[in-house]
A and B are shown apart, each in its own frame.
Chain A
Amino acid sequence: MAAGSIVEPMNSTTAAEIAADEFSRVVTEHRPQIFRFLLASTRDVDLAETLTQECFLKAHRNWSSFRGDSSAMTWLMRIAINLQKDHWRNRRMRFWRTTRTNSVDLDEASEWLPSGESSAEQKMLAKEQVRHVWKAVEGLSDRQRTVFLLRYIEERELSEIAEITGLSEGTVKAHLSRAVGRVRTELGRGK
């Protein structure tokens, strides 16, 4: 800023507009990732969609209090994980806890194949691998699953995962190691 220039005070309307624009950009940028993470966590498209909407609603309400200490993605992911935890906790408290969720089964989830596989044999092998990984993920604890998905689906660094989950990096490593071990065992069974 040039010396002597008059700094015009930013009025509240302008500040609100800037904040709204910024939030809108954050939504556009991060919404697919949040949805993907929640979809992988729940295997339920409707639930993932609902939780994604709730996540951004909550973020919108608290946008003014977001100080930018962490990245917006880290902040949003933390909200998404908390919402997911709340959802399962509330669900467990309900008396119809045994009722089925809308989660798709492993076979259905494994139907989504990477488009790169060309031959039928490759497709079959890829499908089998994906099914085994899903099976292993299903058997993980909530924390292990979260860490595993953040690492291998969202491709987050360990330090970021630690920040998102509120765990130490060592604990994240330990959870990840156990989760990978489970996947390895499951793949070993399928061989």
Chain B
Amino acid sequence: MSILEKQNEFPDDSSDRSNDRVQPDGRDPVLDQHLEAALRNFKLSVDAWSEAAYSTRRIPQSAPRRNWRPAAAWALGCALVASSVSGVVYQRHEKQVKAKQDLAKLVEQQKQAADLQAVNEEDLLASVDSDVSRQVPSAMEPLAQMAEDESK
């Protein structure tokens, strides 16, 4: 006898299926048949779902073990890959920074050289100017001095 056929062991579930009329306690026998069918379908549905989920999920049949080795291997592998990648990236970054610094240094040197050259040229021009602009005695001055002396 299935469990669904044992419904009458509960006060709420007692029903006389030979009588299709509504029971004295107001229970509808058709609904009880309906209830039986629904409970049967419910069980079959859960069974189908569970079997499908169980077989596709492949729950390991042995007692669960703490399998830490694959996880550790993965973690180690990831750490190695990450460190090597970050090393390469760091080296590249360092090279770029050094190249920028060298370029800046070169530009600075060129600028300093240009400035120095400009200063030298300015000094030269200034000295030439000063040489050119030096005062010389007037060529007529001795004669003028003599004329002055004679008049005295």
Q: Is the CB of A180 within 8 A of B41?
A: no
A23 to B51, CA, bound (A): 22
Is A110 at the interface (CB under 8 A from chain B)?
yes
If over half of A's interface residues share one DSSP class (helix, strand or loop), that class is named, otherwise mixed; here it is helix
A110 to B43, CA, bound (A): 11
Q: Choose one: B4, B11, B28, B49; the contact of A177 (CB below 8 Å).
A: B11
Q: Choose one: B4, B34, B51; the contact of A191 (CB below 8 Å).
A: B34
Q: Is the CB of A27 within 8 A of B45?
A: no
Is A83 at the interface (CB under 8 A from chain B)?
no
Q: Choose one: B10, B28, B49, B61; the contact of A112 (CB below 8 Å).
A: B49
A52 to B61, CA, bound (A): 11
A184 to B12, CA, bound (A): 10
Q: Choose one: A48, A115, A152, A158; the contact of B48 (CB below 8 Å).
A: A115
Residues facing B in A31-57 (CB within 8 A) are 31-32, 35-36, 39-40, 45, 48-49, 52-53, 56-57
Nearest to B34 among chain A residues (CB) is A187
If over half of B's interface residues share one DSSP class (helix, strand or loop), that class is named, otherwise mixed; here it is helix
Q: Is the CB of B46 within 8 A of A57?
A: no
Q: Is the CB of A130 within 8 A of B31?
A: no
Q: Which B residues touch A126, using CB under 8 A?
A: 41, 45
Is A99 at the interface (CB under 8 A from chain B)?
no
Residues facing A in B48-74 (CB within 8 A) are 48-54, 57, 59, 61-64
Is B47 at the interface (CB under 8 A from chain A)?
yes
Nearest to A24 among chain B residues (CB) is B62
Could you say which interface size class chain A belongs to? 35 or more
Q: Interface code B57-94, partner A: CB below 8 Å = 1, 0 otherwise?
A: 10101111000000000000000000000000000000
Q: Is the CB of B3 within 8 A of A132?
A: no
Q: Which A residues touch B28, using CB under 8 A?
A: 188
Q: Is the CB of A181 within 8 A of B42?
A: no
Nearest to A32 among chain B residues (CB) is B54
A177 and B41 contact, Cβ closer than 8 Å, known pairs A32-B50, A187-B35? no
Q: Is the CB of B35 within 8 A of A184?
A: yes
Q: Is the CB of B62 within 8 A of A39?
A: no
Is A68 at the interface (CB under 8 A from chain B)?
no
A40 and B10 contact, Cβ closer than 8 Å, known pairs A27-B62, A152-B3? no
A191 to B31, CA, bound (A): 9
Q: Is the CB of A183 within 8 A of B35?
A: yes
Is A16 at the interface (CB under 8 A from chain B)?
no
Is A9 at the interface (CB under 8 A from chain B)?
no
Given contacts A114-B48, A181-B12, 6 further A-B contacts (CB under 8 A): A31-B59, A35-B59, A112-B46, A115-B48, A151-B3, A177-B11
A interface, CB within 8 angstroms of B: 23-24, 27-28, 31-32, 35-36, 39-40, 45, 48-49, 52-53, 56-57, 60, 109-110, 112-116, 126, 129-130, 132-134, 151-153, 155, 158, 173, 176-178, 180-181, 183-184, 187-188, 191
Q: Supply 5 A–B pairs (Cβ within 8 Å), ascending by A.
A: A27-B63, A28-B61, A31-B61, A114-B40, A152-B4
